[in-house]
Structure formats: structure tokens, C-alpha cells
Amino acid sequence: MLKKSRLLAALLMLCLVFPLVAQGQVESAPAKEIELRWASIWVGNDSKAPAVEALVAEYNAKNAGKIKVVIEPQPDYNAYEQKVRTSLAAGQAPADIFTIKFNPTTATFYQSNLLMDFAKVMDASWKQTFDAGSLEQSTVDGMLKSLPMETAILPIWYNMDAFKKTGITELPTTLDGMFAAFDKLKAAGITPTSQMTGDTNAWTSMIWFSHFAVSLGGTNVWEKSFTDPAFVEAAKLTKRMITEYSTSDAVGLGAGGSGGHFLAGRTAVFSNGPWYAGRADLAATPFFNSIKIAGLPAAGSTKDFMISRLQANICAASSKDKAREAAIVDFLKFLTSAPSISKIAETSGAMFAIKTDYRPTKALQKQFYDVAVAAKTTAFDLEAALGAEVTLEFAQQLGALALGRISAEEFCALVDRKIER
Amino acid sequence: MQAVGTHRSRVWTARVLFLLPVSVLFFFFFIYPFLFTIYTSFTSWRGIGSMKFNGLANYTKLLGDPTFRKALGNNVVWALSQGFIQVPLACLIAMILVRKPRFWRSLRTIYYLPNVISTVALAMVWVAIYNVEGPLNAILGALFGAEKRNWLGNPDTALFAVIFQTVIYIGYFMIILLASAMNIPRSLYEAAEIDGASTFQQELSITLPMLRGSLITTMTLAMAYGMRHFESTFLMTGGGPAYATTTMGIDLYLKMDALRYSEASTAGVFLIIMGTVVITVLRKIFGSSDPMSEMAQ
């Protein structure tokens, strides 16, 4: 009986230990080809997915037997960000290749030795393919631990069909003109804008606030104290947008709801990046062909600028295996080459920090390109400039500001205390 | 004598072997993270790079943080609502169902049904219900001519709204209490009836005292859940507006989101302390008897 128990215990232990041993054997087995895991967010319904998958297939075919890139789909972006954070904190790279949204919060990742420093492996010809400004923005203390890949401008979207219903055929050029146009829309029973204070960044309202703040305080406004008059005035304007010119559910509303109002034609003006242009539900709207992309009329002395951000930077795991590191660089050179980027841009409408001759032909995407080119200068949005914690405070207190619980000055003081100096 | 000793030794070896796998897993997935959380709460660490010991600085900062104090207060409201509204409600329904009225089996299933539906799905349904243009405002408007309210967007109503949509789902605690109530001997009720006790008196003098152990257990579970509440509030409001609905769990999550790992650990330690305080206070109030043992009996 006792022998049986011991035998059973030994078998049980063997069952538990065997899968672990087996797993180790698979990983440590000598590989004929180098397999690179890419934790990619450009999968599923993402507009970049088809082109990215085709490029990976093309690269794998060219390098058959030598290098194989395997996409690990990451369709839930929030879960993916958590994975990146926790993996790095646990002392492990989330994959051989992965992306981050570069901002002051994620710049902390540069302190990790788990990330490859591209500054050490980037030759002059590869460097030249990138937009110099984006490369500089992605460099921290001389380290380039993420490559700028996808960029974005964050303009304002105008449903001109709605404007035409009130007799307005041209976009207002002054702030007063814009408010007058919004009043006309309201009178016609159309809610002018899609504002929101929900989620962790009050996304669409954060874009409006960024436009106002940069116009009032200049492109270096984010370097100033948040109690600066430019921010106070921007807060007052944003509050006016929410309380007078938005849907009644704006306080607490998330990005899905804000976009949903615009897609349903309930609001006439919206704000978002170029990735939204590739959505099938947007193309299905009756006003799709009337959408006009532009900035906001200047609220201050800074004009002809565009709010922008580094939307996705590519990171790679550092490796002591030189062959593996060379394989990663080889694939990333292929991925960030002008022909590859042109293919992704063509299908998705997204914008990139890599210089190409690609010029969009689809009307809406062309507008994004034209607006970006026409801008004399660019400035980061609040989240890109000040990071996640400040943006969270902004979102939380924006609700209180809109409800009149705090003044614009108090709002700015509350956000200011979250800025690390 | 030696044979008995050898036999005992073998029995112990077998026991150790059987317990070893789960003990190892328990250590690595519970004890180690627990100790690591306590350790990191005394350091300055952003998840990357080395940790720097900073004593009680995180605790001082956290207690001085109005957002965390708000979260702590909200958790107390959550715990009290769960323990003193949800459990009594569950108990009331269990006491009705135990008398097996018509359709009691169907009602039992209906009450329990929300517990098998995903929290995400329920939260999304309630977001739609609470929307300014949603059915709640439509019903209140039609019945009382009430003005439309942004239930989740107003700091005055948001906390009440998110608590309400959880508190009404009593199925889980109802099942526990119903199972206990069904084990109460019928002879006690028959004797009480002979003595002329009304139904209300029977419930008060027989059912409730007999359910004491189960009630303490369900209240402990409910209040512990209230102290660590996260999911539905995060999905419905993200802790807003203006932190009106934030909880310690949400605060912890958002601190991790901002790569403030050591501060998140400190919030985690507070969560553990508060959970322990709740259980201790309940034990003090309801006596030192072990509700789990009573349940088992």
C-alpha cells in the first residue's frame, strides 16, 4: 500500500516536472534558423494588419532557412501595454520585437538593459531613412532604445454635410467665427462637437485642449508650468466646448462613445488621428466624402501648427547572441525601408517617421498628408509631452471643471502638481 | 517498535511528497509576490532599474494623497453597501425561497443568473442603462417627469450608480444562505407553529439565529470584496469623474500604469491591511466563533 503511494507520488511529481523539462528542451534545442517573435499590435481589424502580414511573409520567404519572423498577435492594446510593462519589470523582454507609445512615462524603459540600443547598430544609410526630428525625440541621454515608426498628426475632423445644413460652406478661420458656426449648428439641432472626459486620457478633448494650449502658449508650452495663463485660458475654452457645444453625456464619456456620436452623425466636429480614416464604419457613413481635415482656428498668437505625436516606436530585445541581434536589425531595416513603409501607408492611411515617396491617393488620407505638409511646425499633444500620470489627472479633473466644481485656475493647479520637475 | 517508526516515517515522506508541488506553487505564486510587494513598498522603484530604499516615504505620500484618501473612503462605502445592503437583501430572498413558494426553483435560477454573466458584459449593459439618452432616464421621465441625468458623469450620483448595479446581484450570497436555510430542521418550525408563533416570529427567532454562521461568512466575503472592488467601476467610469468613484484597486492599477510600482505596492499593502481590519472588526462584532467551521457543521 505504502509502495503504491510512493509510486503514485513519484508519478505525480514526474507529471508536474516533465512539461517544464520538455519546454526547456524545446527552447534550448539548437535552431537551424533564427526565429524572431514580434508582439504586434498591427493585427486583426487594424488597418495596418494586411500589409504588415504580407511584408513578414515576404521577408520570411526571402530568408527561408535563415531567419523566420513570427507575429504574436496583440489585438487588445491596453492588455498589450500591461504585458510590456510587467515583462520589463520582471526582467524579461516581452518579445524580440515590440512597440511602445513613446512619451515621458515609457521613456523610463530606456533604463532597462533588456532593450537594444539602436544608436550602437545604426549605420548612416539606415539613419537617413528616418525623419531626423522623430529620431531626436526618441533619443534619451544618447540612447536610441526605440525606433520611431508610426507618427500621427491630431487634427480636427469636420462633417461638412452638417455645416452645409446651416448654410456654412467654408471652415471658420477665427475662434469667434467658430463659435458662431457652432451656435448655428446648435440652432439647427446638430450638436457641434464630440467631447469626452472619460478613459485615462480624455482623448478627444485632450486633443482640443492641446490645440488651444499650443496656440496660446507656443510650441514650447509643455515646458512651462501648468499654471501658466496659456493653460488656464485653454482650460476655459475646453470647458466651454464641453458645456456649450458637446453632447450631454460628454462628462464621463469614453473614446468609443465620442467617436460613436460622430460616426452616427449626432455631432459635426471630432478629433482623432489618421488611423481612424481607415475604419470601415467611417467609410460607410453618408457624410464620409464631405469630411474635411484641418486644424483649429488660432486661439492665440501661434498659428499654422499641427498637434502631433510619436504613435508607435519599435523596440527590440538586446541579445548576447550577435547572430540574433544581426537578424533583428536585418528585419527592422527591411520593415523600415521606404518600399515597406509605402505599402503599409497605402493600405492603412497611417503616417510614418520614415521618409518615402509615397503620396496618398485616397481623399481623406490625402487630406491628412496635405495638412501635415502645410503645417509650418508641429507640437506634441499633452499626453505625448507630459506622460500618463499627468494626462490621467487632466482627464479626471476635466470632468470636475466641466461640472463647475473647480475653476480653470484650480484645474491647472491640480494638474500641475502631477508634473515631475 | 522500529517497524512502526519506519512506517510513520514513510507516511510522512509520502505526505511531504504530495504536498510539495502545491507548496512550491503556493510559495512562488503567493508568498513570494506577497513579500515582494511589502519589500517594494519601502523602496523607490519604477519597474525598471534598481530599487532604492526610502523607508516610509511611500506610506507618508500615500496617506497625504487626496485621491488615495478618496479611494479609501469609497472602499469603505463599498464594503458597507455589500455587507449591510447586499447580504441582508440576499438573506431576505433566501428566507422567502426556503419556504418554497410557487416557481421558487425558477426564481432561484433567475436570481443567480447574473453571477454567471461576465462582469464586462453587465458593466456595458449598465453604462447603456445609465446613459443620458438611456432607458433609465426615459422611464423616470415618463413616470415622474424627471429631468435627464448623466448618472455616471455626475460626481453626486456616479458612486451610487456603480454600487447599485453590483448590490442588486444577490445570487451568490443568496445561494449560500438558501443552502444553509434548507438545512434547518423543519421540526423547529413545527414546534413554533404549535406554540402560536407567526411567520415573522419564526424567521426572527429560528431562521436568523440558525443562519448566524452563514451570515457572518457571507458578510465577511461581501465586505472583503467591497474593500478590493475594481472591475465594474473601472469598466464603467475608470474611477471618475474627478475620482468620485475611484477605489484603492483602481488607484493601484493607475499607479502601475504610470510606472509607479513602489507606490502601487504601498497601495497593495494598504489593501491587505484594510481587508484584515474588516475581517477582524467583523469577528469582534459577531463573536469569536469561526463561521467557516459553523458552515462546515
Q: How would residue A26 be classed by pLDDT, with cut points 50, 70 and 90? A: very low
Q: How would residue A383 be classed by pLDDT, with cut points 50, 70 and 90? A: very high
Q: Do B239 and A396 touch (CB under 8 A)?
A: yes
**What pLDDT is attached to residue A159?**
96
Looking at the fold, whether B10 and B78 belong to one and the same domain comes out as: no
Distance of CA A152 to the CA centre of its chain: 7
Per-residue model confidence as pLDDT tens digits over B86-125: 999 999 999 999 988 889 999 999 999 998 999 899 999 9
Residue B171 has pLDDT above 90, yes or no: yes
Query: Which CATH number belongs to the domain containing residue B274 in this structure?
Result: 1.10.3720.10
This prediction's pTM:
0.81
Name the CATH superfamily housing domain A33-152+309-352.
Periplasmic binding protein-like II (3.40.190.10)
Instruction: Give the CA radius of gyration of chain A.
Output: 24
**What pLDDT is attached to residue A10?**
61
**What pLDDT is attached to residue A343?**
92
**What pLDDT is attached to residue A290?**
95
Closest C-alpha to B226, from B34, B66, B73 = B73
Looking at the fold, whether B200 and B277 belong to one and the same domain comes out as: yes
For A202, A242, A280, A351, the CA distances from A194, given in Å and listed in that order, are 11, 8, 20, 24
A395 touching B (Cβ < 8 Å):
yes
Looking at the fold, whether B259 and B114 belong to one and the same domain comes out as: yes
**What pLDDT is attached to residue A21?**
47
Per-residue model confidence as pLDDT tens digits over A39-72: 999 998 788 899 999 999 999 999 999 999 999 9
Between A217-231, A261-275, A357-371, B58-72, the lowest mean confidence (pLDDT) is in A357-371
Our CA-based measurement puts residue B18 at a distance from the nearest CA of chain A, in whole angstroms, of: 6
The proportion of chain A whose per-residue pLDDT surpasses 70, expressed as a percent, equals 93
The ranges assigned to domains in chain A are 33-152+309-352, 156-308+367-416
Q: What's the average model confidence in pLDDT over B72-93? A: 94
A415 touching B (Cβ < 8 Å):
no
Among B8, B149, B259, B265, the strongest candidate for a mutation testing the A interface, having the largest count of A CBs within 10 A, is B259
Per-residue model confidence as pLDDT tens digits over A226-235: 999 999 999 9
Q: How many domains does chain B have?
A: 2
**What pLDDT is attached to residue A155?**
94
Between A2-16, A37-51, A325-339, A355-369, the lowest mean confidence (pLDDT) is in A2-16
How many other β-carbons are positioned within 10 Å of the β-carbon of residue A4? 9
Q: Is B34 a domain residue?
A: no
Dihedral (Cα; B285, B286, B289, B292), 10-degree rounding: -110
Residue A9 has pLDDT above 60, yes or no: no
Looking at the fold, whether B223 and B81 belong to one and the same domain comes out as: yes
Residue A216 has pLDDT above 50, yes or no: yes
Per-residue model confidence as pLDDT tens digits over A102-148: 988 888 899 999 999 999 999 999 999 998 888 988 999 999 999 99
Q: Is B258 a domain residue?
A: yes
C-beta pairs of B142-149 under 8 Å, 24+ apart in sequence: B148/A248
Q: Do B48 and A89 touch (CB under 8 A)?
A: yes
Q: Do A249 and B131 touch (CB under 8 A)?
A: yes
Looking at the fold, whether B95 and B197 belong to one and the same domain comes out as: yes
Q: Is B44 a domain residue?
A: no
**What pLDDT is attached to residue A89?**
86
**What pLDDT is attached to residue B266?**
95
- Do A33-152+309-352 and A156-308+367-416 agree at the fold level? yes
Structural domain boundaries, residue B3: 1-28
Instruction: Give the CA radius of gyration of chain B.
Output: 24
Higher pLDDT, A329 or A89: A329
- CA angle B149-B155-B159, nearest 5°? 95
Query: The cell 484641418 sits on which residue?
Result: A294
Our CA-based measurement puts residue A146 at a distance from the nearest CA of chain B, in whole angstroms, of: 16
Q: Is B46 a domain residue?
A: no
Residue B245 has pLDDT above 90, yes or no: yes
Looking at the fold, whether B8 and B121 belong to one and the same domain comes out as: no
Q: What's the average model confidence in pLDDT over B258-279? A: 90
Q: Is B175 a domain residue?
A: yes
Looking at the fold, whether B218 and B291 belong to one and the same domain comes out as: yes
Q: How would residue B49 be classed by pLDDT, with cut points 50, 70 and 90? A: confident
Among the partner-chain residues A198, A389, A405, the one whose CB lies closest to the CB of B238 is: A198
Looking at the fold, whether B212 and B276 belong to one and the same domain comes out as: yes
Q: What's the average model confidence in pLDDT over A208-222? A: 96
Question: Which chain A residues have a beta carbon less than 8 Å from that of B132?
Answer: 247-249
Question: Which chain A residues have a beta carbon less than 8 Å from that of B148?
Answer: 248
What average pLDDT does the structure give for chain B? 90
Among the partner-chain residues A254, A392, A405, the one whose CB lies closest to the CB of B258 is: A392
Q: What's the average model confidence in pLDDT over B15-31? A: 93
Looking at the fold, whether B178 and B266 belong to one and the same domain comes out as: yes
Among the partner-chain residues B13, B148, B153, the one whose CB lies closest to the CB of A252 is: B153
Cβ within 8 Å of residue B42, ≥6 positions away: B53, B54, B55, B56, B58, B262
A196 touching B (Cβ < 8 Å):
no
Residue A407 has pLDDT above 70, yes or no: yes
Q: Is B19 a domain residue?
A: yes
Looking at the fold, whether B8 and B112 belong to one and the same domain comes out as: no
What topology is assigned to A156-308+367-416 in CATH?
A: D-Maltodextrin-Binding Protein; domain 2 (3.40.190)
Task: Tell me which amino acid residue A29 is.
Answer: A
Q: Do A400 and B20 touch (CB under 8 A)?
A: no
Q: Which of B3-7, B231-235, B271-275 has the highest mean pLDDT?
A: B231-235
Q: Do A392 and B254 touch (CB under 8 A)?
A: yes
Q: Is B245 a domain residue?
A: yes
Residue B43 has pLDDT above 90, yes or no: yes
- H helix or E strand, kind and range, residue A331: helix A322-335
Q: Do A112 and B150 touch (CB under 8 A)?
A: no
Q: Is B42 a domain residue?
A: no
